[in-house]
Amino acid sequence: MCRRLIYLISFVLVLSLLGDVQAADVTWTDGGPDHLWSTATNWDSPTVPTSADKAIIMMFPGPTIANEGTVADKIAVGTGSSTGTLTVDGGTLTTTHWLILANNEDSNGTLNMNSGTITVGDRLAVGYKGSGTLNMTGGTITITNNFLITEKATGTGHVDLYGGIITTRLFEMRREAGSVGTMDIRAGTLIINGDNLSIVQGYIDNGWITAYGGNNSKLHLDYDVTNSGKTTLKATHLLNPNPTYGSTVTVSVNQLQWTLPDPNLPGGVITCDVYFGTNPEVEANPKVVIGQAVESVSVTLASNTIYYWAFDLYDSSISTTEPFHLSPIFTFNTSNTAPIVNAGDDIATWLDNDPRVVQLDGVVSDEDGGPGPATLLWTVIAEPNELNPPQISDPLAANPTVTIKEVGSYTLQLEAGDGEFTATETMQIVLYADSCEHAKNQEGFELIPGDINEDCIVNELDLAILEEHWLQWNYSTE
């Protein structure tokens, strides 16, 4: 018994050692041909981290996650005295445990969340012991346990929630005395499980959470209103800019709109200068409004372009030459999207001695208008007899006719392209031999009593069949 027990203990020990060998610290080296997390030669292993590995990032620029399926056990962005960055741009990242920015006192760690999804299995700490920054302009971050903006006394953390959604079970700022943590919210949203109104309001009252840098803006905090059973924090700017901060719009948008505040004194007039263009240094862009008391201006947008705009506000009751408010810089983009294609409803019809001509009802829209005009193409991708194919009157038109002769099922595809993206949708035509076969295949169809030959009509043919078999029987008389 003792020897067997010793062997069993040894076997378990060997298995545990093997498990320890499988999990590893994998360090980013940026030694590959690109900056992608998914490229194995960018890691010292050289293998891409698994869900059992700790990924260590001590370089700027660090990896970019642009693919689905990225995993790690833990991630440390910035350790020792290093500076590390991690960018998620359209990919997915899942950690089994934590994701920490600035793990040590002398480290710097930055997470740039542009688009995609991050799922953190335990906690996300922005500024654990060092200086951490989360720049979020889009996508979603889901935190299973705790979202911390600075954890240890030496930590400094800042979050720019300029877009996207962060959802977490718990939310803490400045866990230990001496730490510094701040958050600025613009177009983003923070969602916390349960009722956390008093905690978050306390952070707001302390000045740790601001909206648009605290410039003529408002934070919106609620529990069980925007999201059932959850605390939700959002922000709006009092100028109510439209397009909204960080939004994606189509080039069909032809106006910028906003709301001017009330003057300081009755009788005063609020006027504005509006800078608008593609230069991030917003004052280098032309002024599309100069000294006017207006709340909109016409503009022309180009596809696949990022725009920046800002306001100088003047109050005649204070000064007509010195602005009383310089707005933050607002931004939006006109990223191209694929056309929207509707091939029309499915059709069921029948032959009537001659071939059947069917009118197609395709609809294509391309609201962003670029980079080129939408092109259309109808094709037949399935048919009952390739030797007798259907004939489309004009495959490049949205609403051509199609002539079909063979009984059976046809699948037609409408494709639209704008020079960059294409979109497709299919519709089906089912052709029956006659109107009776068509009727029989419709939902709820029932034969008329007396329709012996099942030709959808009761007439002399049914009577002749009845007379021919009158008084016959097919049961046994024995």
Per-residue pLDDT reduced to its tens digit, 259-293: 999 999 999 999 999 999 999 999 999 999 999 99
Lowest mean pLDDT among 9-18, 44-53, 236-245, 290-299: 9-18
Q: For the chain, what is the domain count?
A: 4
Place of tokens 């008329």: 448
- pLDDT on residue 372: 62
pLDDT of residue 1: 43
SS3 label, residue 453? coil
Please indicate, yes or no, if residue 242 is contained in any of the structural domains: no
Per-residue pLDDT, 5: 40
pLDDT at 2: 42
- 15 pLDDT higher than 90: no
Instruction: Say how far apart CA 303 and CA 336 lie, in whole Å.
Output: 6
Verify that 353 and 288 share a domain, yes or no. no
Element spanning 198, H or E: helix 197-205
* CA–CA dist 421, 281 (Å, integer): 31
pLDDT value at position 201? 98
Per-residue pLDDT reduced to its tens digit, 167-194: 999 999 999 999 999 999 999 999 999 9
The pTM of this model reads 0.68
Same domain assignment for residues 75 and 210: yes
215 with 155, same domain? yes
Label residue 20 by pLDDT band (50, 70, 90): very low
Of 236, 271, 292, the one marking the end of a domain is 236
Please determine, for residue 3, whether its predicted confidence score (pLDDT) is greater than 50.
no
Report the distance separating Cα 108 and Cα 57, nearest Å.
11
Residues 137 and 176 in one domain: yes
Q: How far is CA 318 from CA 238, 323, 334, in A?
A: 19, 9, 38
- Answer whether residue 121 shows pLDDT above 50: yes
**SS3 call for 284:** helix
Structure token digits, residue 441 = 């295949």
Residues 93 and 210 in one domain: yes
Residue 7, domain member (yes or no): no
Q: 272 and 357: one domain?
A: no
pLDDT band with cut points at 50, 70 and 90 for residue 370: low
CA atoms within 13 A on the CB side of 319: 7
CA angle 16, 21, 23 (to 5 degrees): 100
Structural domain span for residue 325: 247-333
> Are 331 and 248 in contact, with CB atoms under 8 Å apart?
no
CA distances from 213 to 183, 236, 283, 342 (A): 9, 11, 19, 44
List b or e across 447-477, with b for residues whose CB sees 16 or more CB atoms inside 10 angstroms.
eeeebeeeebeeeeebeeeeeeeeeeeeeee
Q: Tell me what the pLDDT averaged over the chain comes to.
A: 91
Per-residue pLDDT at 371: 63
Which of 211, 206, 209, 165 lies closest to 186, judged by CA? Answer: 211
Are 66 and 198 in a shared domain?
yes
Q: Do 202 and 301 belong to one domain?
A: no
CB neighbour burial string for 239-249, b if at least 16 within 10 angstroms, e if fewer = bebbbbbbbeb
In a domain, 393, yes or no: yes
> With contact defined as beta carbons under 8 Å apart, do 81 and 105 qualify?
no
Which of 236, 256, 281 is the last residue in one of the domains? Answer: 236
Residue 10 lies in a domain: no
User: Which tokens is 160 given?
Assistant: 């720019």
Alpha helices in 94-142 (DSSP H): none
Among 183, 209, 236, the domain boundary falls at 236
Q: How confident is the model at residue 140 (pLDDT cuts 50, 70, 90)?
A: very high
353 in the same domain as 425: yes
CA distance 471 to 478: 18
Instruction: Give yes or no: residues 85 and 180 share one domain.
Output: yes
Asked if 103 and 78 count as a contact pair (C-beta separation under 8 A), the reply is yes
Look at residue 472 in the predicted model and tell me its pLDDT.
Answer: 84
Does 3 reside within a domain?
A: no
Using one digit for the tens of pLDDT, what is the confidence trace for 297-340?
A: 999 998 889 999 999 999 999 999 999 999 999 999 987 778 88
Residues 329 and 372 in one domain: no
14 is a domain residue:
no
Give residue 21's pLDDT.
44
Is residue 6 included in any domain, yes or no?
A: no
Residue 216: predicted pLDDT: 82
Residue-level pLDDT at 98: 97
State what percent of residues in the chain have pLDDT above 70: 94
Query: What distances in angstroms separate CA 27 from CA 59, 75, 118, one per listed residue?
Result: 10, 10, 20
DSSP 19: H
Say which residues have a Cβ less than 8 Å from residue 172's Cβ, sequence separation at least 6.
146, 147, 148, 149
DSSP letter for 34, please: S
CB within 8 Å of 307: residues ≥ 6 apart: 276, 277, 278, 301, 331, 332, 333, 334
Looking at the structure, tell me whether residues 31 and 74 fall in a common domain: yes
Q: Is residue 414 part of a domain?
A: yes
Instruction: Give pLDDT, residue 205.
Output: 97
